[in-house]
């Protein structure tokens, strides 16, 4: 736990770590107060590209936590960074929600089904057969295929629902083409975070999350400190069978509060 003293930036997963669905965990407010008191930085990092940062900002503020827009980073933003960095043309076929469409348009992309140069797939809660068919036609014709994140399911209070990774599987089954994937645990996510927040010394940065194969795998890949919390998906028993091991296992964010007080 001594290692926590040296951490000055906490990258935080949202669902299962900071809240569950629309319920803030009781240790989340004390965590934020501790961060403020000790002048430590915290940034929410989520793979869920069905919403844009504006939505998360409002959701977290409604829960009584006062943060700024800069403190939220999504796989949609990382995908925009990746496309721009690699000079992808602006004409895209985007399979995503209206919130993701808005984000890409604000970033200067032109969303079109007429000769798009790239197909981008997000967690599309407004997915239709027509969109799937169009995306598959384009990918089969050789248009590059990029997906925002790999999660197969998204947790909800009513149970898991099919996420971007499940949609990738469908498109790949039809076309035989695997996409370039951007979100946690891939290095493109951490590269985009570095570009935005200038994360320099890996030993002073921690990724806190409830999933071994996204949150902790990204911490490993980036060489930063991985803090697993058991307040979400992962049970202590899962650790025995996991290739990815965290640097520390915590019950929840409250353990960080305790360690730093």
Among positions 15, 101, 151, 255, the unique one binding Mg ion when judged by CB under 5 A: 15
Minimum CB–partner distance for residue 32 and Mg ion (Å): 18
Using CB under 5 A as the binding criterion, the count of chain residues that bind Mg ion stands at 5
Minimum CB–partner distance for residue 142 and Mg ion (Å): 35
206 Ramachandran zone, left/alpha/beta (phi>0; psi -120 to 50): beta
Nearer to Mg ion, 103 or 210 (CB): 210
Query: Is 3 in contact with 208 (CB distance < 8 Å)?
Result: no
Question: Is there binding between residue 16 and Mg ion (CB under 5 A)?
Answer: yes
Minimum CB–partner distance for residue 247 and Mg ion (Å): 17
The reply to whether omega before 203 is within 30° of 0 (cis) is: no
Stretch that binds Mg ion, among 5-13, 105-113, 131-139, 145-153 (CB under 5 A): 5-13
Among positions 7, 11, 13, 225, the unique one binding Mg ion when judged by CB under 5 A: 13
Strands, sheet with 9-12, edge to edge from the N-terminal-most edge strand: 72-74, 41-46, 9-12, 205-209, 225-229, 248-250
21-to-96, 155, 171, 204, 243 alpha-carbon distances in Å: 21, 8, 28, 29, 28
Binders in 81-140 for Mg ion, by CB under 5 A: none
Nearer to Mg ion, 21 or 69 (CB): 21
159 Ramachandran zone, left/alpha/beta (phi>0; psi -120 to 50): left
| Residue 122 parent element (H or E) | none
Minimum CB–partner distance for residue 215 and Mg ion (Å): 7
Minimum CB–partner distance for residue 63 and Mg ion (Å): 16
Nearer to Mg ion, 13 or 124 (CB): 13
Torsion angle defined by CA atoms of residues 189, 246, 211 and 81, in that order, rounded to the nearest 10 degrees: 0
Binders in 197-256 for Mg ion, by CB under 5 A: 210, 232
Positions in the binding site for Mg ion (CB under 5 A):
13, 15-16, 210, 232
């Amino acid at each position: 736990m001594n290692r926590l003293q040296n951490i000055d930036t906490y990258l935080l997963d949202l669902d299962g770590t900071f809240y569950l669905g629309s319920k803030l965990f009781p240790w989340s407010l004390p965590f934020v107060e501790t961060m403020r008191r000790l002048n430590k930085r915290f940034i929410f990092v989520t793979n869920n590209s069905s919403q844009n940062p504006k939505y998360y900002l409002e959701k977290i503020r409604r829960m009584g936590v006062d943060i700024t827009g800069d403190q939220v980073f999504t796989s949609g933003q990382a995908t925009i960074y990746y496309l721009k960095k690699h000079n992808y043309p602006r004409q895209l076929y985007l399979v995503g929600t209206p919130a993701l469409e808005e984000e890409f348009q604000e970033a200067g992309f032109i969303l079109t089904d007429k000769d798009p140069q790239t197909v981008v797939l997000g967690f599309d809660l407004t997915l239709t057969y027509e969109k799937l068919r169009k995306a598959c036609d384009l990918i089969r014709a050789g248009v590059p295929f990029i997906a925002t994140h790999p999660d197969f399911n998204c947790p909800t209070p009513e149970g898991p629902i099919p996420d971007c990774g499940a949609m990738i599987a469908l498109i790949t089954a039809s076309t035989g083409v695997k996409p370039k994937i951007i979100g946690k645990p891939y290095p493109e996510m951490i590269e985009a975070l570095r570009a935005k927040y200038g994360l320099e010394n890996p030993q002073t940065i921690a990724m806190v999350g409830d999933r071994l194969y996204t949150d902790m795998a990204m911490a490993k890949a980036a060489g930063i400190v991985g803090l697993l919390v058991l307040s979400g998906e992962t049970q202590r028993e899962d650790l025995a069978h996991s290739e990815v091991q965290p640097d520390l296992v915590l019950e929840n964010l409250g353990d960080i509060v305790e360690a730093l007080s």
